[in-house]
Amino acid sequence: MVEHRMVDVNGVRLHIAEQGDGPLVVLLHGFPESWHSWHHQFGPLADAGFRVVAPDQRGYGRSDHPRDVDAYTILHLVGDVVGLVQALGEEKAYVVGHDWGAPVAWHTALLRPDMVLGVAGLSVPPPFRGTQPPLAAMDERFGGRFYWNYFNRPGVADAELAKDTRTALRKIFYWASGDAPGAGEGGQPLVDPERGWLAVMPDPEVLPEWFTEDDLDALTESFSQGFTGALNWYRNLDRNWELTAAWHGAVVTPPALYVYGDRDVVPAFPGTPELIERLPALMPNLRREPLKLAGCGHWTQQERPDEVNAALIDFLRATS
């Protein structure tokens, strides 16, 4: 059974879900998600002999939501993972992340390779720091219409998403899934500045088979405190670029795995297809070619749980 408790970590209280015994595997969710995003992974990974822990990361769910925007930098987020591993009585762990959780996992491996037994990223590939701050680069490229820039406007996306939380989440999850019309065709997530982010997203009459009403209930409940904490992660993108200057050109050295869907919008971001193609040459310890899942959209471990679980278990066993 999955058990729940609160843990004091790095100056915040984090809600965690955990199951199993063995080497520690920390599962890090993305936006707009929660620990529940990994509900298909707990049983299989625990049965395979691992201790599985998934937190609500800071700003999400039942964990603390610091008020200051600058409390959500990548150094705070990596610090939470390091503190969590230590609070759980371990010295090392495997770190697995999806969406925003992937940059946290990759940076944990980059900044604290001594603590990371292996790292896996779903959807978002390893960090290779660009020559421009990301928000500035996207603002220049898309005239301020890229969703990162929209999220960076204080209070705007916060209000749009919180107006009808359940509908917002239903639309986002369908729009970014492999089931949505046009998924995987290379379009960029641009926002109509007059109508908002959700306006262009279809509202499905029936949810995809992999995303149930119970899943939507759990997700909606996790955003009862609103979206500001989660959006603050985006508001630190340029600050993160400044803070990680010392690691410019550095590579992730622990054993690594990268998995993505061929209908996911994120791997089609500017420059990302070329990065994915070069990953085997760039990553000294990438244990296999990037695993591309046919027909899969953004919600990798939920849309394709069996394939993701098999890849994770093979990777964990091979490096344990």
Dist. CA 107–CA 119, nearest whole Å:
10
Dist. CA 78–CA 12, nearest whole Å:
13
Instruction: Let me know if 65 is a catalytic residue.
Output: no
Q: Which helix (H) or strand (E) holds 232?
A: helix 228-234
CB atoms within 10 A of CB 248: 11
Handedness of CA 96, 97, 98, 102 (dihedral sign): negative
Residue among 151, 9, 149 at smallest CA distance from 66: 9
Spatial CB neighbours of 42, under 8 Å, sequence gap ≥ 6: 2, 17, 19, 20, 52, 54
Active-site choice (99, 139, 158, 264): 99
Instruction: Let me know if 80 is a catalytic residue.
Output: no
115 alpha-carbon distance from chain centroid: 20
Handedness of CA 236, 81, 219, 306 (dihedral sign): positive
Q: What is the DSSP annotation of 30-87?
A: -TT--GGGGTTTHHHHHHTT-EEEEEPPTTSTTS---SSGGG-SHHHHHHHHHHHHHH
Upper half-sphere CA count for residue 265 (Cβ side, 13 Å): 18
Considering only CA atoms, give the Rg of the chain.
18
- As given in the structure block, the two tokens for residue 177 are 């899934």
Report phi then psi at 94, rounded to 5: -85, 140
Task: Catalogue the active-site residues.
Answer: 99, 298
